[in-house]
Structure 1
Amino acid sequence: MKAVYPGSFDPITFGHVDIIKRALTIFDELVVLVTENPRKKCLFSLEERKKIIEEVLKNLKGVQVDVHKGLLVDYLKKHDIRVLVRGLRAVTDYEYELQMALANKKLYNELEIVFLTASEKFSFLSSSLVKEVAAYGGDVTEWVPPEVAELLYEKLKEGNR
């Protein structure tokens, strides 16, 4: 069975990677779908995020990385995918994710949503936190893969020129 794990992944963190690896123990194939979120100001472009994720996940079997602009359910219907994977860190995530799940279910009745709770060591971690700490010169190497940290520091340096 194939599932989709959507997100902005700006940048991908070890928390995301953990959810992806755990989802692969449940599903044969997982599409990591890089999406636009109009409420977020992203540091990396969609294509940059896709390329970074492909590099980070290159050794995982059963994963493909794709990009989508627009309604998530349109992508799911187009690719005949009926399962969505979402990660939950805290109660605040649950409230938002439940709202989104109900809306997506209303738009695509055949859809099933699987929630995976974050591993304890990643329960506080978000891409926003990573970017904020890195912007102030903090060490984020425990939170993101090395290639992500390097690209993040480079991108932040470029923005300060």
Structure 2
Amino acid sequence: MKIRKENIENFNYPKNVYVASVDPMHFSHLNTKRTAEEIIGETVNLIICQNELKEECLFSLEERREIAKLYLNNEHIFLARNREEIKKFLLKAKKVVRGIRNNKDIEYTKKLAKHYDVENLWTKLILIPVPDEYKKISSSRLKNLAKRESSDLEFYAPKKVLDIIKDKFLSILITK
């Protein structure tokens, strides 16, 4: 769901959010969302964002939403296109989910709180430790492995997602 400026005042913000760039979504993202839902006992909404603290994304927000639908069947997926929209989701949420692999992720979460000027983020935060089998999975690593057609890819994402990533790289090569 895209928030339009004219609808922002009437928008009913979700109370539990998992804000992530998911460029693209992978099994570790899905595990974090599902684990948070088990802990909280309620739905956690995926907020796909254009995070200014990360490098340029391979996929557009709309493409990332389409990929996320392959995991989530369109359930509770929202887009946040800019800093203000991300901040609104964070401020309005009762609980904010973050997957944590190591201390770098905790430091990065501190950076996010400062960047989006959300002082009370730590009071809402649900930190989900990423299980060992998912710790090496990241969107960046998935994209790098897809470029090399690594055999480890099936541990990262479904075949359909892997095909989308490969097609994206191919289209970039063709347009250059």
- For the residues of structure 2 that align with 1:125 and 1:55, how far apart are their CA atoms? 18
Pairing partner for 1:69 from 67, 81, 101: 81
Q: How does 1:21-32 map to 2 (within 5 A)?
A: 21-25=34-38, 26-32=40-46
Structure 2 counterparts to residues 1-161 of structure 1, below 5 A: 2-25=15-38, 26-38=40-52, 39-58=54-73, 63-71=75-83, 72-77=86-91, 80-101=92-113, 104-106=117-119, 112-139=124-151, 140-161=153-174
CA contact (8 A) 1:82 1:111 kept: no
TM-score relative to the length of structure 1: 0.85
Which structure has the highest strand share of the two? Answer: 1
Letter in 2 for 1:75: F
Name structure 2 gaps, 5 residues minimum: 1-13
Find the aligned partners of 1:99 and 1:149 in 2 and give their Cα distance: 31
- In structure 2, relative to structure 1, the CA distance for the partners of 1:146 and 1:73 (3 Å cut) is same
Size of the aligned set, in residue pairs, is 155
Structure 1 stretches of at least 4 aligned residues deviating more than 4 Å after TM superposition: 108-111
Structure 1: which amino acid aligns with 2:46? V
**Distance across 1 between alignment mates of 2:158 and 2:106:** 26
- Give the match for residue 10 of structure 2: none
Q: How far apart, in 1, do the equivalents of 2:141 and 2:121 lie?
A: 34
CA 1:41–1:99 in 2, change beyond 3 Å: closer, same or farther? closer
- Structure 2: distance between partners of 1:17 and 1:35: 16
Structure with the bigger percentage of helix? 2
**2-structure distance, mates of 1:37, 1:99:** 12
Share of identical aligned residues, percent? 25
Conserved? CA contact 2:96–2:121, under 8 Å: no
Per-residue CA distance 1:103-128 (angstroms, 9 max, x = gap): 6542x579611110101101121100
- Structure 2: distance between partners of 1:50 and 1:33: 9
